[in-house]
Chains A and B, each alone.
Chain A
Amino acid sequence: MLAIRPRLASRLAAWVALSPALAVLVVVYIGCTTWTIWISMTASRMLPSSNFVGLRQYEALFANERWTVSVSNLVIFGTMFMIASLALGFLLAVAIDQRVRAENLLRSIFLYPFSMSFVVTGLVWQWVLNPTFGIERIGKNLGFADFKFDWIVRQDMVIYCLVFAAVWHAAGLVMAIMLAGLRGIDEDIWKAARVDGLPTWRVYVSIVVPMMGASFATASVLMATSVVRLYDLSVAMTNGGPGIASEVPAKFVMDHLFERQNIGLATAAATSMLITVAAVVGPFLYWQSRRRAAAGAH
């Protein structure tokens, strides 16, 4: 008995200490999420209403061309951005890992874009890619009269401009994560591989990359969150244009929430995004916990 009492007391203290965080979690996250899902099933427009309409907002949402363009843009952007930033970040890290002289300088240069916000990044690349005073202009000034680089104003190409800017922004961060992973690899493994006569590229491909699972996972999660959140880059760089060619889901939600005053449609869009993320993250977390349990059993 005597032994249990202090434990009860300390447990109580722990709960008291945790309670503010718990309150925030319950009210802000769970409360707001529930409210959002509820509103998405009402006929709310400018103001929230409690007129239940079932999935009518979702029918309207998926019939909305702007939304379907946003979703397909996000899929294209997400795939290309993830692959390109992981690949480029890894290659930069490998390049720096060759014990180059100016390692610190290069690392800072590569990491520098990440210190800028997406808004600044978007504005900078908007100027650089602008046909009248960006790269195209420079090409023309250099004497290539029919040089053309107008992707940012072409509906079929503008999304790649977003990918380009976002990769430029994030590759440095991926590099830093990968470099930490590379440096964590036992020197003796490299020595053993050299005695085994393995070419350097082979060591990277067959031995080092498989050992860097944690680094790739960390970088992927960070990149994936910035894919889902993608908003400010699109606003600053193209404002969704030309036309609706570079619209993205988060921008759809924000616009309908604050400009078009269609809360019902906005919350339906937000809920769709939430469900998609949950559908991806849920099985992943489950798989990880299974794997951890399996590893623990050994």
Chain B
Amino acid sequence: MRGVLGNDQVRDGTAVERVYACDSYSIERHEPECVVFPRNTYETQLAVQRCIEIDVPFTARGAGTGLSGGVTAVKGGVIVSTKRMNQILEVDPVNRCTLVQAGVVNQKVNNAVKPFGLMFAPDPSSQTVCTIGGNINENSGGPHTLKYGVTADHVLQATLVDSRAQVIVAGSRVSGGPGIDPLSLVVGSEGTLGIVTEAWLRLVPMPERIETALIAFSTIRSAVDAVVEVMARGVIPAALEMMDKHVLSAVEKAFGLDYPKGSEALLLIECDGRSQQAESEIRSAIEACLDCGATNVETAGNEEDRKRLWTARKKGIGAMGRLAPTIVTHDGVIPRSRLPEMLEFVYAIAEENSLGVANIFHAGDGNLHPCFYFDEREPGTVERVLAAGEAVLDKCVELGGSVTGEHGIGLEKIDSWSKSLSANDLRLQTTVREAFDVSGLCNPCKVIPNQKGCVEHRRRWSGAAT
């Protein structure tokens, strides 16, 4: 590798290997043999070429904030870090797009296009550190996905180095053309189809007006009814997030904030767009909530208020550190109308397993993030956490949903996902993998179950949250 890329761009040694052994899913660790830092597509191609020559697997890594083990070098080999591919190459305000290297941080893109009144809409909670390459490969979402859509809806074209070290360009700056669109496969492929080096991103105008409301409910049931009712009235809020009382009590303790006494849940609703539209939408949303029994409504008069209303949502997970030494967050999706049933199930399963559970999640999308909190030093706890997590995901599937709304399959969910697939469904997925990962060296052992030479993984839990 050093011969190909130069000393400066290759690092190895115990310290480095340890740092690059996992992402934010830190329970499964595998140390790579070295880490390379190409600066552009050409250098990435050289690195991949070398991996193929010496028959060593390679895995792309952005910021390592992934939550399902996507960057873990399960079979060792080379980690291709995009850290030095961090340039914004072009901003084209007329055509509302920007060309960036894969290692550029999401927030940096937004900072660069803001002067033009534009934004890159996907806003994962990790956006101050996570990279565009990571967003594309995980098809990331965020609180504003409800209205603006996921990353797939905001990527126009991606350049990647595939598993044969060929440079391919998928998609086009002009969307919607005739024929098969290979870009749809690349987005969300979790680094298994190649290494993305550059991408043209679609930009959208920043909203003229943002209206935010924080609404309290005295029962969980009335809050989830309100979620369904808001949407039934023809409003698609920019964000519709829910926090239950366990999150609130953590936030109250941590930040000294007060929420209306007797609240079992809060909904954070944001509507945006042209001034008139944002105003009338938030009014309808609030009315819907009141009709469902909301007990308190607080709206933001200015940006400072807005930030305060978002505190529980943005800092809730961090604050939960106060409830117990360990928290584990799950990520599942259900049809929105099944939220009442699902939440009842989550509380019941926590109680059955003597665990604490708090819910803070993208209610509008039906994307649940139950956080179990516990003390892992107590004997038997870990087993109970695993059992509860598995029951939650099974329930998501049973209710017609999905085992992941944003964290991806990675290593973590290979089993829970694949057991819901028929043999034909699986063959459809495998066909894609085999068509593109011809060398079998590109991020092996991820997404698709039963790959050759991949050890079966242990049952485990994930320890970070969104």
Q: Are A and B associated in one complex? A: no
Give A contacts to B, CB under 8 Å.
none
